[in-house]
Structure 1
């Protein structure tokens, strides 16, 4: 039977696991949360006691953790994937981390007999749960070919963006600089409309049918006008982290990023005022300044 694993069973990882199981993979998983582990077992997954145990029972393992330190620990730690997977196995790094961190993990895996695919994803909670994520995959062509079935089980679109660790993360950093900027502009436009007395539905109708309409804008605006600022599957901490990565890469390379830097300040404000909210909660901070709210 085809075997796969998932480390990190939150909003994103649980979607990976669900779709691997749906597509016929015997799927092992590990998460520090007992609640998530129970939910994983209920969907048909095989809960394991550590990352290493997952690796011992899987030909490929998706790593969907929050940051580079966590990724390094589950991949290269004492009871990590590299020391427990069978030779020829593949670590599929689907978390978003710094390109330099992915490169370092790749270097430290050399000679281990374990392959690495660096493939952060886009599509958020809906994409993960529906198996329609976009993957930015970097790895050796033969390794990508061998793991195509597992990747296709969780993704609607797979772009091969390079051959080296860090290539996928670099493309993701560029993407997030754009998405973060579009988000912040949408939040500001929503607050402007609220202060001017425009209805949220009118704004959505125009935006969604104009050249500015896209999934990022439409989703943000719908959540804003329906006042859905928490538990929508797009926690503000994730975009805040991603923009931090984008701007760090820009600093490393000496690239001016005025728009993304401004977006970062919007997310700073939102995360500071409402640390448990989702991306769209940044709008509330601006609304509180102007004294108006946008409703449908």
Structure 2
């Protein structure tokens, strides 16, 4: 039985751990929050005291942290994975970070004997918990073939999007620019319906069966009309960070991102007003401006 490490046991990492355990892997994990560590141990995981302990014990490790700086520390720090993992192992970088940060990590790992699979994911909390994530995987084919069973344990769709570190993060930045725009358009449409007095259920029924209906729109509308703005597993900080990465890539490449920029400002407003909220809380900011709320059974 292979041992797989998981760095970060929050909404996403806990799902990775759960599905790896279900697939028969031994899983060692670490998180800064004691409650997450306790929950991980209760599901059958092995809590670790340090990144070095995880690296030394694991054949592959998932890195599901928030920022590039955190990923770099976990992977390359003195107490990190590369310094302690046996040769032939793999770092599966499933966190969403800036493409250049992934490239820098990959360059620093050259000659270590440890493989880097740059594979951010999409699917959010539901996808992580159900093992149906989409992975945007970048590494040589031989490496992806070797570690396919580990990745398949947490994912329903594994797309091979490149061979170099940063390729996966670049595709994810493109994807998030689109998802951010879909979210923001949904928030505005919901507020428009609220002001016009249209019941939320009507909007959901129509949108979900129209050409505009999709998982992003339908899920956001469900949360809005049921007024579920916190604790749904989609904290606004994550999407705000991802849009920042998309905008940064656009700046780097000289690509105008007008719609993503508007989405960025909507998420910035939501995060400023409701820092503990989830993505859909942005709708509340617009609703407060217009003096109407969208509920399932009607506007209020």
Look up the SS of the partner of 1:213 in the other structure.
coil
Shift of residue 70, structure 1, vs aligned partner: 0.1
Shift of residue 89, structure 1, vs aligned partner: 0.4
With normalisation by structure 1, the TM-score equals 1.00
Shift of residue 44, structure 1, vs aligned partner: 0.5
Residue 203 (structure 1) aligns with:
203
Shift of residue 108, structure 1, vs aligned partner: 0.2
Measure, in 2, the Cα distance between the counterparts of 1:83 and 1:45.
23
What per-residue deviation string (whole Å, max 9, x for no partner) do you get for residues 43-76 of structure 1? 0001000111111111000000000000000000
Alignment of 1:181-260 (within 5 A): 181-260=181-260
Query: Which residues of structure 2 form unaligned runs of 5+?
Result: none
Look up the SS of the partner of 1:87 in the other structure.
coil
Shift of residue 140, structure 1, vs aligned partner: 1.0
Measure, in 2, the Cα distance between the counterparts of 1:57 and 1:27.
10
What per-residue deviation string (whole Å, max 9, x for no partner) do you get for residues 182-220 of structure 1? 000000000000000000000000000000000000000
With normalisation by structure 2, the TM-score equals 0.98
Measure, in 2, the Cα distance between the counterparts of 1:39 and 1:84.
26
Shift of residue 2, structure 1, vs aligned partner: 1.6
Residue 103 (structure 1) aligns with:
103
Shift of residue 285, structure 1, vs aligned partner: 0.2
Query: What number of residue pairs does the alignment pair up?
Result: 296
What per-residue deviation string (whole Å, max 9, x for no partner) do you get for residues 7-48 of structure 1? 000000000000000000001011111111111111000100
Shift of residue 161, structure 1, vs aligned partner: 0.2
Look up the SS of the partner of 2:58 in the other structure.
coil
Look up the SS of the partner of 1:164 in the other structure.
coil
Measure, in 1, the Cα distance between the counterparts of 2:180 and 2:96.
14
Moved >4 Å (runs of 4+): none
Look up the SS of the partner of 1:17 in the other structure.
helix
1:91 aligns with 2:98: no
What per-residue deviation string (whole Å, max 9, x for no partner) do you get for residues 233-285 of structure 1? 00000000000000000000000000000000000100000000000000000
Query: Which residues of structure 1 form unaligned runs of 5+?
Result: none
Measure, in 2, the Cα distance between the counterparts of 1:39 and 1:199.
39
Measure, in 1, the Cα distance between the counterparts of 2:236 and 2:11.
13
Measure, in 2, the Cα distance between the counterparts of 1:230 and 1:101.
30
Alignment of 1:101-180 (within 5 A): 101-180=101-180
Alignment of 1:3-42 (within 5 A): 3-42=3-42
1:69 aligns with 2:62: no
Look up the SS of the partner of 2:294 in the other structure.
coil
